[in-house]
Structures are given as structure tokens and as C-alpha cells.
Amino acid sequence: MFKFLKSLFGKSNTEEIKSVLQNGAVVIDVRTPQEFANGHYKGAKNIPLDRIAQSIQTIKNLKKPVIVCCASGMRSARAKSFLSKNGITEVHDAGSWYNLNNM
């Protein structure tokens, strides 16, 4: 049941995300600048969800796998879906940024 829910909401598993992080992925935190300022994963880039569309080319130019995160996983799931539909071929959803800090 848990695997079904994970696949339904697009969550990558912890081991996969750890591996992608170790191989140089960029972490994009899609929370607001205020939320980001109150704490974030070290090295994450803050691109709020409402600015993702304008940032597609910038993200593509990074030429790295992408891990998206937010506060609870709702916005990161939307970001993952949007990025995937717009040509970002390797994008992973970590859900909450706290998940990344606890890996």
C-alpha cells in the first residue's frame, strides 16, 4: 500500500534520492523566499513554484539531475510534474526539505 501511495504522489525513494544527491544533483526548493529564509537544505536553490515556468531554461542549462522539495510535498509534486512535462528528464521529488536533511 505504501509503495502505491508513493507512486501515486510521485515520491522517489530515499535510496534513489541519496544516490542522485551524491552524483551532483541540484536541489530546488519551491517554497516562498520567506519560507526558504527560515531554513532550507544546504546548497539548495530557491525557485518558488510560481516562478518555475519562467525558470525552465535556467534549470535545463544546469545539465544536472534535479531534486525538488518544499514544506510538505504538495508543491514539490506539482513542480516535478511541471518540470517533467517541460523537458527536464531527470527530476525527483523529495517532498519536504526536512527529508533531505535527515538523509
Which residue type does 94 have?
A: A
Report the C-alpha gap between 102 and 57 in whole angstroms.
Answer: 30
Burial of 24 (0-12, 13-18, 19+ CB in 10 A): exposed
Instruction: Please list the active-site residues.
Output: 70
